[in-house]
């Protein structure tokens, strides 16, 4: 594992020739897009769902305003360099593509296969995934050496470190290009080897599953679990508030991948998490998960 030196984000970074395409206008796609725009990097945001894409501009505006109020992005950042599309026809000019679609291996593999046929050789294809092994996805691209992984935390503008995953076939030039892009975005990178769940999800997601199981069994409320984890163990938000921030559906998808690849029964999603997904209680993005959220704070 290597760790880049910590430096404060440059308020006026030299984005230079960077222009990225982001696939997926969900929570992470919107967050990564806002981060890039905030650092002067033009973005083509692609999503097949026209309704979701229509909402994306307002969501990105909201994230930019929040980040600017918190001093996390330059005050001049706006969405004038944002372009929206429902097809991948325009990705050929991108200097990097960030795939941030649903955490389902088949969908990500299909997206990478499509994109790798449209971009120039040597263009980094970055899968933003919380758990799916990168080499598994790279096998579907025309050039596996162009594929690397990232795991941005939510919200990307607030979390300064990004987990970067080097697959077995990821090339040196791809890793250098990913590092250069993260530098422009003011993020520190920690590079790890490829494995199911990498480091953060392999440690965090089974722990959240255990926390939900404690609530399911009636040992404690969600509030009590989080208060103890914060007050006694120093967890910054508590595992169940973190689940709401991740998105409980995304968490369940990640746990299923971990369970499938490792056989670890601790990663089998507990019934309470599955029940919340069935009820549409997915966390902050739907207004209710383990906690209820006001519309303006979502």
CA dihedral 266, 248, 103, 155 (to 10 degrees): -120
The pLDDT score that the predictor gives to residue 117 is 97
* Widest CA span in the chain: 55
Residue 237: count other Cβ atoms within 10 Å of its Cβ: 13
For 240-275, letters b (16+ CB in 10 Å) and e give bbbbbbbbbbbbbbbbbbbbebeeeeebbbbebbee
Q: Tell me if the pTM is above 0.95.
A: no
- How many Å apart are CA 86 and CA 92, to the nearest integer? 15
Domain boundaries, the chain: 2-193, 202-285
Structure tokens at 22: 């982001």
Q: How big is the CA angle at 80 (ends 107 and 26), to the nearest 5 degrees?
A: 25
3-class SS of residue 41: coil
Assigned fold of 202-285 = 1.10.1040
Same fold, 2-193 and 202-285: no
Structure tokens at 10: 């440059």
CB burial of residue 155 (10 Å; 0-12, 13-18, 19+): buried
Phi, psi of 140 (to 5 degrees): -95, -5
Helix (H) or strand (E) holding 128: strand 125-128
Which residue in 18, 39, 140, 151 is the catalytic one? 151
The pLDDT score that the predictor gives to residue 2 is 43
Rg of the chain over Cα atoms, rounded to whole angstroms, equals 19
The pLDDT score that the predictor gives to residue 79 is 76
Tens-of-pLDDT digits for all 298 residues of the chain?
444 433 333 433 445 689 999 999 999 999 999 999 999 999 999 999 999 999 999 999 999 999 999 999 987 776 789 999 999 999 999 999 999 999 999 999 999 999 999 999 999 999 999 999 999 999 999 999 999 999 999 999 999 999 999 999 999 999 999 999 999 999 999 999 999 999 999 999 999 999 999 999 999 999 999 999 999 999 999 999 999 999 999 999 999 999 999 999 999 999 999 999 999 999 999 999 999 998 644 5
The pLDDT score that the predictor gives to residue 1 is 44
DSSP 8-state assignment for residue 164: E
Q: How big is the CA angle at 250 (ends 244 and 252), to the nearest 5 degrees?
A: 95
The pLDDT score that the predictor gives to residue 40 is 93
The pLDDT score that the predictor gives to residue 78 is 67
The pLDDT score that the predictor gives to residue 80 is 82
Phi, psi of 97 (to 5 degrees): -120, 130
Structure tokens at 93: 């000019």
Q: CA-CA distances (angstroms) from residue 119 to 42, 145, 148, 153, 198?
A: 17, 14, 15, 26, 27
Under a CB-based contact definition with an 8 Å cutoff, are residues 24 and 102 in contact?
Answer: yes
Structure tokens at 270: 């507990």
State yes or no: is 140 an active-site residue.
no
**Into which CATH architecture does domain 2-193 fall?**
3-Layer(aba) Sandwich (3.40)
Structure tokens at 181: 């892009």
Structure tokens at 73: 């992005």
């Amino acid at each position: 594992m290597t760790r880049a030196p910590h430096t404060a984000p440059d308020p006026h970074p030299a984005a230079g020739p960077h222009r990225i395409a982001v696939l997926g206008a969900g929570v992470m796609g919107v967050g990564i897009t806002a981060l890039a725009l905030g650092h002067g990097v033009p973005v083509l945001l692609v999503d097949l769902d026209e309704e979701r894409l229509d909402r994306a501009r307002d969501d990105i505006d909201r994230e930019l305003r929040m980040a600017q109020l918190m001093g996390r992005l330059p005050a001049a950042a706006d969405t004038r360099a944002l372009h929206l599309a429902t097809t991948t026809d325009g990705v050929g000019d991108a200097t990097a593509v960030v795939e941030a679609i649903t955490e389902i291996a088949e969908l990500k593999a299909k997206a990478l296969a499509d994109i790798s046929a449209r971009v120039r050789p040597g263009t980094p294809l970055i899968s933003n995934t919380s758990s799916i092994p990168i080499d598994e996805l790279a096998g579907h691209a025309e050039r596996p050496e162009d594929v690397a992984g990232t795991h941005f935390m939510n919200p990307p503008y607030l979390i300064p470190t990004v987990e970067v995953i080097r697959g077995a076939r990821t090339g040196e030039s791809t890793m250098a290009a990913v590092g250069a892009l993260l530098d422009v975005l003011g993020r520190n990178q920690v590079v790890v080897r490829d494995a199911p769940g990498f480091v953060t999800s392999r440690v965090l997601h089974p722990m959240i599953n255990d926390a939900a199981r404690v609530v399911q069994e009636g040992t404690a409320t969600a509030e009590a679990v989080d208060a103890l984890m914060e007050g006694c163990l120093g967890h910054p938000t508590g595992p169940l508030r973190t689940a709401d921030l991740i998105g409980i559906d995304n968490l369940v998808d990640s746990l299923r991948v971990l369970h499938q690849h490792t056989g670890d029964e601790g990663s089998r999603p507990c019934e309470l998490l599955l029940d919340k997904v069935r009820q549409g209680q997915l966390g902050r993005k739907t207004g209710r998960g383990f906690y209820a959220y006001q519309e303006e704070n979502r």
